[in-house]
Structure 1
Amino acid sequence: MLRLFTKVNVKRLILLLAITVVFAAVLTGCSGKPEGERSEVTIGELAQRLKQAVKLEELKQRDKETLKRLYRLGDDEVEDFVLYTAVSNVKADEVAVIQAKDAAQAERVKQNVSKRIDAQTAKFKDYRPEEYGLIQKHVLKREGRFVLFAVSKDADRIEQVFDEALR
């Protein structure tokens, strides 16, 4: 009889452990965001992450007027942005993260940035081959309402920071 009692207790213990494991798995699975939903990071947070990851001291942070002049973008399209460009116009380094007001505007922002890439390519092609090489290795991508543009020797690292921030 003692042996039967032990087997019953062991079975109950195993059942209790199985229920506990399933319950823990369900709680863990429900604690995150729904699949496909991205965290909404701010431009300020993104700029801070970029500054920590790569050297931006050699670049100058720019204002709305520069954004408008370089990319032909206005307040009606852009919610927020951070823009760094080279201090000298003989350098091609440029980093922009632009948050559009909506997804349709983000596509327009990306198209306008593409026009900037074309202009910079034509400008540097025969004039500064090293800078032209940087432009050829640029990063231009869109994630939701955010557009990243990077012309830098650290463009891959900038892209990685951007991707990690928007996960």
Structure 2
Amino acid sequence: MKKMIVIMLTMVIALVISACSGDKSSTTEDKTTTIETSHSAKEMTEQMVTEVEQPALMELTAEELTNLYNLDATKLEDFSVRVPMMSVKTNEIAIFKVKDVNDVAEVLAAVKQRAENVMKQFEQYLPDQYENAKNHKIVTKGNYVLFVISEQADKLITVYDRFFEEK
């Protein structure tokens, strides 16, 4: 009985702390029309996970993308989405190259909904992973959208940014 009270009290405290912390997600945007890089989305995600260690991640297919993101893959010229192999981590890396820059807003909405879904999934499950999901990052560069959930999101974004600096 005491154990149950301690667990419930811990959950209430965690909920109060997380509610007071507010939304710490960050979104950075570059509103230019289209941007090019010589790398595919898959090459970029592979390089990112090579340089910045992440838990085991698996690549999503177009069908899985539709299921998890509720996003029509036909609107994308290229994409690479890596999600955890085991459901005890929230780490996720997604790069979308949108065919038409006018569809970027739709992709952003899908990404933001995905972030909400991950947070809800872990809210009562694993507090450390819930915090990780709350601190997700979204970066847009023209027709590219990057979504990252990671303790090392800033390092991953630094690697990502380099793909657009190359000449």
Mapped contact 2:60–2:82 kept (Cα < 8 A): yes
1:1-167 to structure 2, matched below 5 A, reads 38-41=35-38, 42-56=40-54, 58-167=56-165
Give, as a single letter, the amino acid of the residue that structure 2 aligns with 1:149: F
Cα RMSD of the aligned pairs, angstroms, is 2.0
Task: Give the TM-score of the pair, scaled to structure 1.
Answer: 0.71
Give % identity.
26
Superposed CA deviations along residues 139-166 of structure 1, whole A, max 9, x for unmatched, are 1111111111111122111111112212
Alpha-carbon distance in 1 for matches of 2:96, 2:119: 21
Mapped contact 2:59–2:80 kept (Cα < 8 A): yes
Alpha-carbon distance in 2 for matches of 1:151, 1:89: 14
Alpha-carbon distance in 2 for matches of 1:72, 1:106: 14
Which protein has greater RCO, CA pairs closer than 8 Å, 6+ apart? 2
Tell me by how many angstroms 1:75 deviates: 3.0
Superposed CA deviations along residues 102-160 of structure 1, whole A, max 9, x for unmatched, are 21112211111101111111221122101011111111111111111111122111111
Alpha-carbon distance in 1 for matches of 2:42, 2:88: 28
Gaps of 5+ in 1: 1-35
Equivalent residue, structure 1, for 2:9: none
Mapped contact 1:86–1:93 kept (Cα < 8 A): yes
What secondary structure does 1:140 align onto?
strand
Tell me by how many angstroms 1:57 deviates: 6.1
Alpha-carbon distance in 2 for matches of 1:37, 1:87: 33
Mapped contact 2:35–2:144 kept (Cα < 8 A): no
Alpha-carbon distance in 1 for matches of 2:155, 2:56: 16
Gaps of 5+ in 2: 1-32
Task: Give the TM-score of the pair, scaled to structure 2.
Answer: 0.71
Write out the 4+ residue segments of structure 1 that deviate beyond 4 Å after TM superposition: 36-39
Mapped contact 1:94–1:152 kept (Cα < 8 A): yes
- How many residue pairs get aligned? The number is 132
